[in-house]
Amino acid sequence: MSLRYKPNVTVACIIHATSQDKYLLVEEWIEGEQRFNQPAGHLEANESLTQACEREVLEETGLSLKPQGLVGIYQFSANENLAFVRFTFFVQLDEMLPPAPQDDAIHAAHWLNFEQIEAKQPLLRSPLVLDCLRDYRRHLQQGAAYPLDLLNSERLTIAPKSKA
């Protein structure tokens, strides 16, 4: 019998200050290497995807924000033993808010324009950082995004404990 494929479920959030056309990325050091990512992390037990997004944004930026829409759902395999299903959300702000990361794993948070993020491609945590951002920008041009009710996050259902 082969092992069951169990990708990690993660959330990420593109935070866009529309008037300055800048995006908030977090800087972290992973195994001694500098990496940049959207605020992101793992889905925890008994929380909806949108709740996970709000929690990760708060922990990694200090900002209390609610996702406004879904950019997309992405599948990524880092290697044959490590895979992810990533739900990327977005929040649009009128202007840049000052970040104050709460999570010790986050070294800093930076407002960057798209070209600055592209230039950091070798330092991005995964290819999904840029893929999601390109999809978000395409959605903006087309005037479309996926609504949050697509995920049915308001009706998180937890099965009752089994008597077995």
Per-residue pLDDT, 158: 65
Per-residue pLDDT, 156: 67
| Residue corresponding to tokens 């000052």 | 98
In contact, 88 and 74? CB cutoff 8 Å:
yes
pLDDT band, very low/low/confident/very high, at 1 (cuts 50, 70, 90): low
In contact, 145 and 69? CB cutoff 8 Å:
yes
Per-residue pLDDT, 159: 65
Kindly report, residue by residue over 93-133, the tens digit of the pLDDT. Answer: 999 999 999 999 999 999 999 999 999 999 999 999 999 99
Q: Once rounded to an integer, what is the mean pLDDT over residues 135-150?
A: 91
What token pair was written down for 126?
């995964």
Q: Inform me whether the pLDDT recorded for 55 exceeds 80.
A: yes
Element (H, E) at 136: helix 128-142
Element (H, E) at 12: strand 8-17
Domains of the chain with bracketed CATH: 8-143 (3.90.79.10)
Looking at per-residue confidence, does 81 or 29 come out higher?
Answer: 29
Per-residue pLDDT, 127: 93
